[in-house]
Amino acid sequence: MIKIKIILGCDHQGIRYKDDVIKYLKNNEIAVEYSNISNNEEDDYPDFAIDVCKKVLEENALGILICGSGIGMSIAANKIKGIRCARVVDENDAFSAKNHNGANVIAFGINVELEEVYKIIDTFIGTKSPSEARHLRRIEKINKLEEGK
């Protein structure tokens, strides 16, 4: 596996996968840091998305967000300049998110089976960033949108 750091954040629903994902990453010699936001039954997914995404940018890391569906986390994450977060449900999504769209964060829900989660993680980490002109052109258009151009 590629040497990279993963910043992980899970809300009160996603916490169900926290320990398994951390163990999986560590067993594969991947550095992992968990969000500083405390988990409780009334925590709010945007807080985790913000915390994880800021660290992803500061540390040039990749991020993984887990909540009930992955939808709310991805919406919140994509409000942060410099973040390209994709909600993924399988390893094909993880590949496209990173290789085609330059995703630096992925989000998924607890409805994704744990074995598929491991495949998603492996694919996300192991996939190269975009290099084809068509993908780079599209990402540049997204970057311009982010800049308000």
| Alpha carbon 90 to its chain's center | 13
CA distance linking residue 106 with residue 108, whole number of Å = 7
Is residue 61 within 8 Å of residue 5, measured between CB atoms? yes
Catalytic residue among 12, 100, 119, 138: 100
List 32's β-bridge partners, or say none: 6
Is residue 101 within 8 Å of residue 45, measured between CB atoms? no
Active site residue 100: yes
State residue 27 phi and psi, 5-degree precision.
-65, -25
Is residue 6 within 8 Å of residue 62, measured between CB atoms? yes
User: 105: alpha, beta or left, given left = phi > 0 and alpha = psi -120 to 50?
Assistant: beta
The torsion angle over the Cα atoms of residues 40, 28, 129 and 141, rounded to 10 degrees, is 0
Question: So which residues are the catalytic ones?
Answer: 100
